[in-house]
A and B are shown apart, each in its own frame.
Chain A
Amino acid sequence: MNKSKTYPLYFTFGALLLYTILFVLPGIFGIGYSFTDWSAYSDKLNFVGLANFKTIFSADENYFKILTNTLAFTLVTTVLKNALGLLMAVLLTKHIKLLNFHRGVMFMPSVLSTLIIGMIFTSILDPSIGLLNTFLNSIGLGALAKPWLTTSEFAFGSVMAVDIWKGVGYIMTILIAGILSISPTYYEAANIDGANSFQVFRKITFPLLLPTLATTTVLNVIYGLKIFDMVYAMTNGGPGKATTEVLYTAVFKMFSTGQYAVGTALSSVMFLFMVIIGYFMIRVMTRNEVIE
């Protein structure tokens, strides 16, 4: 017996039971249902094997595009939210006037409801009467006024841009906390050695902030893979067939047309997807971690 353990193992049983009932069992049931013909149209449930998965992966379905869209959304928003969040965090830990006001303004969009932001931006980005294009036209930059949400060329970029605008303040706040937890002695030493700002950032701030960046990356990736409300409110997967369709809007459409089993099968694929991505991501991030 390991004497360093403070509490006996059975102390975990309560938590494990709750975890199993609330998380593990629904997950297993969900995967189980994806092998049936469960639908809103019938009360009977029959085992259909891999039929639903065949539907999902058949050549005439659009799911590959949906998977790629979800991955692209995750990658772009994660990279840009981290990069912009880091930039703002570095700026907003300097001695500047009205520091908390600036931090508050940047954080504000994160507090608002995603659906409301989506609806407001649908109006702002309207090509003919939207605020953005009206403004661009009024200052003589009419050439930059584009149909932001109504063409396949710009729609996905616009949705991602709004999501980044909304989420960057949140990431910035976490990174500010990370920067403030770095001991000032490092900076004092660097100052004495005559290091410039960029060197201080590269040799002190960035390396010591890596664990915090790992956390924000994990948060962003999980958020990106599960994105639903922003896309739903702004384009509902359109324009056209699947320009901005992501996994959860597709699952939502399946469920709403009563095709539960196909929807559940798609969720199961998503589950597998997240396990694989999660596994590799955490392996990479814990590779250089020192275990005390």
Chain B
Amino acid sequence: MRKGKRIMSAVLAIAMLGSFTACSGGNPMASSSNAPASAASGTAAAGSSAKQENVTLTFMASQDWIQDAEMKLGAEFEKQTGIKIDYQIIPSAQYTSLLMTKLNAGECPDIFGNQSGRFDIQTQLNVEKNAVDLSSENWAGNVDKAAAEELSVNGKLYGQPIQDVSSVWAVAYNKNIFKDLSIQIPKTYAEFKSTCEKIKTKKITPIYECVSDGWHHTLWLPELGPVIEAANPGLSDKLNNNKATFAGNSTMQLILTQIKEMASLGYWGNNYMSNKYADSAKNIASGKYAMTIANQGFGEEVHKADPKFKADNIGYFVMPLADNQILNVNPCGPSRFIYKNSKNIDAAKKYLEFMASDSSLKYMTDNVSKFNKLPYSNAPSKYTDTIKDFYARYPKTGTVYQTAVKYVTPQWANIGSDISALLLGEEKPDEVLKNIDKNRAQQAKAAKDSAWN
């Protein structure tokens, strides 16, 4: 009897230990926001220009969203106002999970970054509940219309664009290597393959791809939305109304098969699973790799990595999988949002106003090589001839699928896992697509989307 009691008590102790942790929702990464709420923020609210002390704003964003130039501006902002910005940069593969956990736990930093997108900021972020309405801010009218629409819900603006959204994700290539090997810009997948083969013969890895970041290799699928749409006109509408699925779509299957083939044929080299996006400019500059998927500021980044490498030696062409020749445009990009339950809303609004000022936008454009034109009417432009030629080469444009189709952006990391499973041979193309459908359905049902319920 006594033995039985001992067993029971020990079992209960273990079980309760387990249940307690299980019910906590698991947020071991959640750090306390070190934003001392003080009366000082009240002073900011009054719009006082007097220097204030003891306000620290926390700004959480994914890796690569906050540039050094922004941090320098943040230091300048602190000098002017006394408001300190604590930038919390999170590895991109973990960012969405962490942000959602923090929002759901009610422990979100004062300012948080997230991709814009009219569907996702409503269903995933629930901005009406979690973010501050910024429509009446002085800078709100300066945001480009297309970018503002992707940051608005029911006519109210909730976010502020961080990055240049005019540029598109395309194949950035080393013009010198192409010239040496007499390679023309490929227009079909077959031509692209022969380009890669030619490059391989010179012991150069054709493409720098980085799977470990979790997001970059995912670009190869949703960014080809325009060619998928062209093959199936009206597909994005059908997907949004739950009248079509990703699974069974022959164009998407073809794209995934070609992604797998590129890796299998060695076009991505040996280390694509562990390569990092942060090293892409350095690797292209070294000449060890000939191409990578990048934005139009990439030439400047390569030049920065190696001053001998001229920015104009990087050219661009659209990803030619499924013989795509349509320019993939996307008015969405990383944006700043103010957390609705922040104790420093007014100080945060001041920071956003500072970042959207003429001088800050000029400073960011001048100092961030990949920014050519920030989406504000008061931002300067610095397009080069190479970039103008690239845009002019593709008169036909189409919207990428993470913007055109609901519930794609929130599962970006999941699509990344599925594509890496495809690369490892654990999944087949249609299984990847089935999983995308499954995740979309789960999110839509949870969001009580009428098309799914």
A126 to B278, CA, bound (A): 15
Q: Can you give 26 contacting A-B residue pairs, CB < 8 Å?
A: A19-B16, A22-B20, A23-B20, A30-B22, A30-B23, A40-B104, A41-B126, A42-B446, A150-B212, A150-B273, A228-B26, A229-B28, A238-B214, A241-B426, A243-B424, A248-B26, A251-B26, A256-B98, A257-B100, A258-B124, A259-B446, A271-B18, A274-B14, A274-B15, A278-B14, A291-B2
Contact residues of A between 78 and 119, Cβ < 8 Å to B: 115
- Which residues of chain B are within 8 angstroms of A255 by Cβ–Cβ distance? 25-27, 100-101, 104
A291 to B1, CA, bound (A): 12
Contact B100 A258 (CB under 8 A): yes
Given contacts A248-B26, A252-B97, contact A275 B274 (CB under 8 A): no
Q: Chain B 112-152, CB within 8 Å of chain A: the 1/0 string?
A: 00000000000110100000000000000000000000000
- Which residues of chain B are within 8 angstroms of A178 by Cβ–Cβ distance? none
Q: Give the residue name and chain of the B residue nearest to A278 (CB).
A: B14
Q: Does A49 contact B (CB under 8 A)?
A: no
Contact B271 A60 (CB under 8 A): no
Q: Does B382 contact A (CB under 8 A)?
A: no
Q: Give the residue name and chain of the A residue nearest to B446 (CB).
A: A39
A257 to B25, CA, bound (A): 12
Contact A225 B211 (CB under 8 A): no
The segment from B174-182, B250-258, B413-421 found at the interface with A is B413-421
Q: Does B54 contact A (CB under 8 A)?
A: no
Contact residues of A between 253 and 292, Cβ < 8 Å to B: 253, 255-260, 262-264, 267-268, 270-271, 274-275, 278-279, 282-283, 286, 291
Contact A271 B22 (CB under 8 A): yes
Given contacts A127-B271, A150-B212, contact A267 B22 (CB under 8 A): yes
Q: Does A212 contact B (CB under 8 A)?
A: no
- Tell which of A29, A243, A262, A282 has the most Cβ of chain B within 10 Å: A282
- Tell which of A232, A257, A260, A283 has the most Cβ of chain B within 10 Å: A257
Shortest beta-carbon distance from B208 to chain A in Å: 12
Contact A239 B443 (CB under 8 A): no
Partner of B15, one of A226, A257, A264, A271: A271
Contact B6 A23 (CB under 8 A): no
Known: A27-B19, A241-B420, A275-B18. 10 other contacts (CB 8 A): A23-B16, A26-B20, A26-B23, A29-B23, A41-B448, A42-B447, A127-B274, A239-B211, A257-B442, A271-B15
- Which residues of chain A are within 8 angstroms of B446 by Cβ–Cβ distance? 37, 39-42, 258-259
Contact A260 B104 (CB under 8 A): yes
A42 to B410, CA, bound (A): 17
Q: Does A17 contact B (CB under 8 A)?
A: no
Q: Does A24 contact B (CB under 8 A)?
A: yes
Q: Does B7 contact A (CB under 8 A)?
A: yes
Contact A41 B123 (CB under 8 A): yes
Contact B420 A238 (CB under 8 A): yes
Majority DSSP secondary structure for residues of B touching A:
helix
A238 to B14, CA, bound (A): 29
- Which residues of chain A are within 8 angstroms of B17 by Cβ–Cβ distance? 222
A291 to B103, CA, bound (A): 52
Contact B271 A128 (CB under 8 A): yes
Q: Does B96 contact A (CB under 8 A)?
A: yes
Shortest beta-carbon distance from B79 to chain A in Å: 33
Q: Does A142 contact B (CB under 8 A)?
A: no
A226 to B411, CA, bound (A): 25
Q: Does B438 contact A (CB under 8 A)?
A: yes
A208 to B20, CA, bound (A): 34
Contact residues of A between 50 and 79, Cβ < 8 Å to B: 55, 60
Q: Does A205 contact B (CB under 8 A)?
A: no
A253 to B423, CA, bound (A): 22
A-B pairs with lowest CB-CB distance, top 6: A150-B273, A267-B22, A27-B19, A256-B97, A30-B23, A240-B421
Q: Does A149 contact B (CB under 8 A)?
A: yes
Shortest beta-carbon distance from A152 to chain B in Å: 6
- Tell which of B22, B447, B448 has the most Cβ of chain A within 10 Å: B22
Q: Does A167 contact B (CB under 8 A)?
A: no
Q: Does B3 contact A (CB under 8 A)?
A: yes
- Which residues of chain B are within 8 angstroms of A30 by Cβ–Cβ distance? 19, 22-23
Partner of A232, one of B94, B417, B447: B94
Q: Give the residue name and chain of the A residue nearest to B418 (CB).
A: A241
Contact B19 A271 (CB under 8 A): yes
- Which residues of chain A are within 8 angstroms of B443 by Cβ–Cβ distance? 41, 257-259
A268 to B424, CA, bound (A): 32
Given contacts A240-B420, A252-B26, contact A40 B126 (CB under 8 A): yes
- Tell which of B10, B17, B211, B418 has the most Cβ of chain A within 10 Å: B10
Shortest beta-carbon distance from A160 to chain B in Å: 19
Partner of B447, one of A41, A252, A279: A41
Q: Give the residue name and chain of the B residue nearest to A272 (CB).
A: B15
Q: Does B11 contact A (CB under 8 A)?
A: yes
A259 to B97, CA, bound (A): 12
Contact A24 B16 (CB under 8 A): yes
- Which residues of chain A are within 8 angstroms of B25 by Cβ–Cβ distance? 251, 255, 260, 263
Q: Does B21 contact A (CB under 8 A)?
A: yes
Contact B424 A239 (CB under 8 A): yes
Q: Does B261 contact A (CB under 8 A)?
A: no
Q: Does B93 contact A (CB under 8 A)?
A: yes
Contact A286 B104 (CB under 8 A): no
A262 to B25, CA, bound (A): 11
- Which residues of chain A are within 8 angstroms of B22 by Cβ–Cβ distance? 27, 30, 251, 267-268, 270-271
Q: Chain B 435-453, CB within 8 Å of chain A: the 1/0 string?
A: 0001000110011100000
- Which residues of chain A are within 8 angstroms of B27 by Cβ–Cβ distance? 252, 255
- Which residues of chain A are within 8 angstroms of B424 by Cβ–Cβ distance? 151-152, 239-240, 243
Partner of A150, one of B14, B29, B274, B426: B274
